[in-house]
Amino acid sequence: MSENLDPKKMGSMLPVISRRDFIKGVIVGGAAVSSAGYLFRASTLLAQSSVVGARLITIDVNGQQRRVDVMKQETLAWTLRHKLGLTGTKLGCDRAECGSCTVLIDDVPHYACSVLTHTVRDRKVLTIEGLANRDGTLHPIQQGVVDEQGFQCAFCMPGFIMASVGFLKSNPNPTRAQLANGVSGNLCRCQDYDKILTALMRGADNMRKVSHA
């Protein structure tokens, strides 16, 4: 016989997701934050983009050879998100102002919204989804973000992390001011810059420990 469930009891049966768990989930896959309006626009444009002129190319994304049909005017951010399902690369402004879409191309940070996909055919693209080890171990920068819980809504987080990873390749031991300058092409709508920098500095420290281990 079925038992009548008290809504309060049902609430207590639901899994409890801590802020730390939430942040970890977002930084591994970069998922979670988007708006209904944005999704509507995306699905409409996706339908339009499949009409004519697409050409099948191969691009190296996160160490994998990905075959994909692209339009000649298609941006890398669009291809990553809507053709390859890599939605960790966020689209904020879509015009090279906010840095939400930052990915590494041959280890250098780029705004994916301002790079045409067909121009990266002979280059290596790294997105937030390719940052953690295959065994699930987070990249030291990602771990720094988890440790410091450095973001609010986290929409900007993948871009900041990718920009930091790229910057630290050329300056692995920056001062706080240098790192702030290094990620100054990234904006946070929540204006959580102080916490973000603390998290990224912790990540830089993690990276140095790993490289000296």
Residues that bind ligand FES (CB under 6 A): 91-94, 96-101, 111, 113, 151-156, 188-190, 192
CB nearer ligand FES, residue 4 or residue 97: 97
CB nearer ligand FES, residue 156 or residue 204: 156
Residue 34 CB, nearest approach to ligand FES (Å): 12
Residue 87 CB, nearest approach to ligand FES (Å): 13
SS3 call for 81? helix
CB nearer ligand FES, residue 100 or residue 164: 100
- The answer to whether 125 and 61 are in contact (CB under 8 A) is yes
C-alpha distances (whole Å) from 128 to each of 49, 131, 212 are 25, 5, 24
Residue 22 CB, nearest approach to ligand FES (Å): 12
- The answer to whether 32 and 49 are in contact (CB under 8 A) is no
CB nearer ligand FES, residue 148 or residue 192: 192
- CB-based contacts of 42: which residues, under 8 Å, 6+ apart? 81, 82
Residue 209 CB, nearest approach to ligand FES (Å): 26
SS3 call for 110? strand
